Amino acid sequence: MSAAVPCVLFEDDHLLVVNKPPGWNTHAPSPYAGEGIYDWLRHRSPRWANLAIIHRLDKETSGVLVFSKSALANRELTRQFTARQVKKQYLLVADRPVPPAPLRFASHLVRDGDRYRSQSTGGSGTMAETVFQRAERMGDRTTVEAFPTTGRTHQIRVHAAAAGFPILGDPLYGGTPARRLHLHAASVTLRHPATKQVVVFRAPADWDREPAQALRGSFIDPKQTDAYRIIHGAADGWPGWYVDRLGRFLLSQGEGQLTGGQKAALERWMAGVSARGVYHKQRDRGVCSSAPEDVAPRRVFGEAAYGDVMVRENGLRYAVRFDQGYSIGLFLDQRDNRRRLLTGHIAGGLSAYPDGCKGIEVLNLFAYTCAFSVAAARAGARVTSVDLARKYLDWGRRHFEANQLEANAHDFLYGDAFDWLRLLAKRARRFNLVIVDPPTFSTSKTGGRFRAEADWPRLARAALAVLAPGGWLFASTNAARVEPGRFLDQLVAAAGEARRRVLDRHYAPQPPDFPICRAEPAHLKTVWLRIE
C-alpha cells in the first residue's frame, strides 16, 4: 500500500516536514492518550521509525513542523535551533488595534497553572523575545507577522496579549472566542543538515477551513480512503453528535433529532465531499431490545442508499449497509489497525511479518464482517474467521470477493469463539497472529454470557492456547470500564499464567479522526503483544 499523507510538505533522507493542522498535538501527552502527529507518523511507516522531534507547536497552532530522520539531521538541527539560527515566521489574527510600527517584545515567562505570565526583564522565569509586524487589515481584523527569536511555550500568545492584541480564538490569554486559535507557523528557514544550503519550508494559512475538517484532511488520502469520522462529539465541538463519511453518503448519530444547525452543517459537509445522501441514526440505550427496522438509520436528505454501499479504506473495498439495524458493517475506529495488518508494520521498529507473509496463519475471532480478515489476506496470510452469526460471515465473503481475494482459500467458521478455541487447541492448530476484538457484551447458547470488563482474562488465556511461539496477539476493546493500564496488565498476566513471556508490546490508541478530550474520553484500547 503506497498511500500519500497529505500533510507532508517535504521529505528526503534527513528531513520530514509537515503542515500540522490545528487540534493535533505534536506528540502524545501521556502513554495512553491519542497519538500526536509525531507518534502517528513514526508508527505509520518503517522509513519514519527514527523520526525525532526538533521543535514543537502547541496543539491548537497549525503550520510548518520539522522532524529529523537521521542522526546527522538531529544533531545539526538541534545545534541550529539552540544557536537561534533557525528563522521562524508565524501569522496571527487579532481583532484588537495593532500598532503600525514593528514591535519588539521581550519579557520573562512564568508558569501560572495552565498558562504563562509575562514579567519584566528583571523578573524570574524564562527569557523570551518576539518581533511583531502588522501585515494586513481586514475590516475589524488584522493579520500580524510574528518572529520569535526564542522558542518558549506559549511565547507568541503571551506576548501578543501583553502587547494589547490577544490572538483571535485564544480566550486563555484574553482573546475573543473563535472556532480555532488563529496562530499559524507560516515558514521555517534553516540550513539543510547535509547540503548546508539554506532551505525555506512554507505552508499557507487557511483560517476559513473548519478545524475538524483540516485535521482529517491532513492524514486522509482520499484516493485510498473515503470512510472515516468527520465529527467526533465534544472533541470536535459538537457534544453528543457523531458524523461519519461512508463513501458517497454521510451517517449522523445522536440521541435526539437533528437541530437546524446540525442540518446546515451536514449540507455543508455533503457538498464538500460530493456526497449523494445523508442518514441519521438516533442512539438508543435499549438498542438490544429493539427491532432492526426501528434502529436503522433514516434518510434525512439526498439519495437513498440501497443494498451494499461500497467504501474505500487503505485501498481496500468494503460494503456497508444502512438497512441492517444498528450496525452498518464496518467499525471505522479500527482503520489504523487494519492498516497494520495490511502492511505488517505495527509500530516504529516492530513488524508483524519480518520475513514476509508466506505461510502466515491468522485467526480472527469475533470476525463480524471480516474486515480484519480481508486486510490480513491482502497481505498474503491465510485467515480463519470465526463469528456467531452466519449472515456476517456471508457478508465477510462478499468483502473477500470485492477485493479479488479467493474466499475458498480461507476458512469461515460459524459458532461461539470459546468453543472453537477449545476445538482448535485440541487439534493442535497454531496461528502466527490471533485477532481478538469482542463486543463489550454478548451471549451464546453454548458459551453463555461474555462481559468484556470481567471475562477478558479468560478469553486471553484461551487465545494464547492456539498462538504459535513468537506469534502476535492483537487484543482490542471499547469497554468503557476497562482502563488501558488494567487491560494491558490483564493480558500480560494471562501470558504469565500460560507460562509464556511477552517479547514486544505496542499500545495503539484510536485513530486521529476520533480525537479525545476530557469531555470525549478515549473508548478504544488496543494492544499488540508478541509472545514467546
Q: What are the catalytic residues?
A: 58
Query: What is the phi/psi pair of residue 32, to 5°?
Result: -110, 15
Q: Is the dihedral of CA 326, 260, 520, 284 positive or negative?
A: negative
Residue 134 contacts residue 144 (beta carbons within 8 Å): yes
Residue 54 contacts residue 74 (beta carbons within 8 Å): yes
Distance CA 74, CA 55 (A): 11
Distance CA 172, CA 159 (A): 13
Long-range contacts at 52-59 (CB < 8 A, ≥ 24 apart):
53/26, 53/27, 54/78, 54/81, 55/81, 55/86, 55/151, 56/26, 56/27, 57/20, 57/26, 57/185, 58/153, 58/154, 58/157, 58/181, 58/183, 59/22, 59/23, 59/24, 59/25, 59/26
Instruction: Provide the grid cell at 298.
Output: 433514516
Residue 387 contacts residue 419 (beta carbons within 8 Å): no
Instruction: Provide the grid cell at 74.
Output: 538531529
Q: Which of 343, 337, 347, 346 is nearest to 356 (CA)?
A: 343
Q: Is the dihedral of CA 415, 417, 418, 420 positive or negative?
A: positive
The 8-class DSSP code of residue 332 comes to G
Instruction: Provide the grid cell at 208.
Output: 476559513
Distance CA 2, CA 438 (A): 30
Distance CA 21, CA 59 (A): 9
The 8-class DSSP code of residue 70 comes to S
Distance CA 317, CA 320 (A): 10
The string of DSSP letters for 4-28 reads --TTEEEE-SSEEEEEEPTT--SS-
Contacts of 63 (CB under 8 A, 6+ apart): 19, 20, 57, 90, 184, 185, 186, 203, 205
Helices (H), 33-96: 37-42, 71-82
Contacts of 205 (CB under 8 A, 6+ apart): 62, 63, 91, 184, 186
